[in-house]
Structure 1
């Protein structure tokens, strides 16, 4: 039986990955900051699907948390076959009004943690010549949206480059780029969402299903909804800032207030 490790696994896209992978028969290592929610999620998935679900409490905004997950990914006796780097968070407010400490914390979670955990996973996977990594990014990677969009653009570029370098080694890497997903993300960051059209909202379970299909097909970037594919295609024909306006308005609505790291990445 294969094992998948999911960060940000207690809500939103991370929880949807955990549910789907458990249903498919994968053992799980669930990573998040909230020990109680982790244990509750693990117990539910074990009871419902008969899989083993281990918990690893870790804050990926700090070196100790990242190192703990690196160590688990490097355990050759209990190898991880699929890594889902999903942990992330949003910040309200516009540059340069967001506190610098919060911006740096975001880069730690979205970029450094993704780099280190992906590397720890693929080194082991390359030895076994099999495995996969899904790095959850966002359509915000393709539009200007401050540090959040820039960090997700880094995730996409890094993942594509790593996938090219790992070609022929039996390891697949993919950046998953959803749009706005109905999760706890915006509520935790206290972001307003009334300006977001209803048609732009996606379901987390459908996002995961589409992403796993694209991973199986060998794609390195997945935009898991035809509406967003069309929107990004149209964005190539309009000024670059037009598409970013919607997400910028949502992020600014209530002014700068930080969200502590570890919430699930929503996409938009």
Structure 2
């Protein structure tokens, strides 16, 4: 694909108030792109928009919206149209997880998790992708996770949601690859964001070494600029290696291994006692 002129882009980013979404906003504004910043926390979005406009001379439009809504895609499409914006790129980054055995968790929490992590990206993709395909340009990045590649005990809904996003996005890549639109899934591993704070425990990332959110964004933008971007990209060398676990081990052994890895008692028991 030809090099992207970021100064001609208007890019919508969900979950833009912190973490990877905020890092995307900063990186793209530095490259000259106008932005549509979407999240629930309006005050944070407005502060970020003001900073980016002053620093980079771009336009940053704030849309405070709950992506758990059953009309998330239509609402965002209507809001951008009302603002007179032509969105040329989408980054579906918003999402959250929960940690604990499935039988002990709240069904209402799972319903919201599915709405934000699955339904919203599908709706938003459906609202904006057809226009991009019709114009023969644009891009869609859906943020998946390393949890998409293996079973994730104690985060069963989150892992399944990210597996859905990975499969969904790779299918869209195949459907649109001749359209002029770039589509791919981005899979970060443990990253320095508010993810664990929202979940309520560091056990959600198994105390893994954290990657910086800025590094995740650089991985995504480098993939976006490739001549023939593939349907998905994994951030970090060690994450790329660990994604192959499911190819080496049986499904049973992989699930058993992940059950041990996500067991919080393993990390809280002194080594001598566990031995």
TM-score normalised to the size of structure 1?
0.87
- Return the alpha-carbon distance in structure 2 between the equivalents of residues 2 and 27 of structure 1: 6
Structure 1 pair 237–58 and aligned structure 2 pair: CA distance change class (3 A):
same
- Return the alpha-carbon distance in structure 2 between the equivalents of residues 169 and 209 of structure 1: 25
Deviation per CA, 1:84-139: give whole Å up to 9, x if none.
Answer: 00111111212122111111111111111111101111111012110000000101
Equivalent residues of 1:73, 1:120 under 8 A apart:
no
- Which residue of 171, 175, 184 maps to 2:185? 175
- Which residue of 202, 217, 223 maps to 2:234? 223
Alignment-derived partner of residue 211 in structure 1: 220
Deviation for aligned residue 1:219:
1.8
Secondary structure at 2:140 match in 1? strand
Aligned-residue Cα RMSD (Å) equals 2.4
Alignment-derived partner of residue 3 in structure 1: 10
Mapped pair 1:40 → 2:47? yes
Alignment-derived partner of residue 156 in structure 1: 166
- Which residue of 215, 239, 247 maps to 1:236? 247
Alignment-derived partner of residue 127 in structure 2: 120
Alignment-derived partner of residue 38 in structure 2: 31
1:1-268 counterparts in 2 under 5 A?
A: 1-72=8-79, 78-145=85-152, 146-193=156-203, 196-198=206-208, 200-217=209-226, 218-238=229-249, 239-242=253-256, 244-245=258-259, 248-249=262-263
Structure 1 pair 76–46 and aligned structure 2 pair: CA distance change class (3 A):
closer
Deviation for aligned residue 1:14:
0.4
Equivalent residues of 1:235, 1:243 under 8 A apart:
no
Structure 1 pair 76–93 and aligned structure 2 pair: CA distance change class (3 A):
same
Deviation per CA, 1:3-49: give whole Å up to 9, x if none.
Answer: 00000001000001001110111000000001111100100111111
Structure 1 pair 180–150 and aligned structure 2 pair: CA distance change class (3 A):
same
Q: RCO (CA 8 Å, sep 6+): is it higher in 1 or 2?
A: 1
Unaligned runs of at least 5 residues, structure 2? 1-7, 269-275
Structure 1 pair 242–229 and aligned structure 2 pair: CA distance change class (3 A):
farther
- Return the alpha-carbon distance in structure 1 between the equivalents of residues 244 and 44 of structure 2: 39
- Return the alpha-carbon distance in structure 2 between the equivalents of residues 102 and 70 of structure 1: 26
Larger Rg: 2
Deviation for aligned residue 1:215:
2.2
Structure 1 pair 243–229 and aligned structure 2 pair: CA distance change class (3 A):
farther
Deviation for aligned residue 1:140:
0.1
Higher mean alpha-carbon deviation, 94-103 vs 229-238, is at 229-238
- Return the alpha-carbon distance in structure 2 between the equivalents of residues 193 and 250 of structure 1: 6
- Return the alpha-carbon distance in structure 2 between the equivalents of residues 190 and 107 of structure 1: 18
- Return the alpha-carbon distance in structure 1 between the equivalents of residues 61 and 266 of structure 2: 38
Unaligned runs of at least 5 residues, structure 1? 255-268
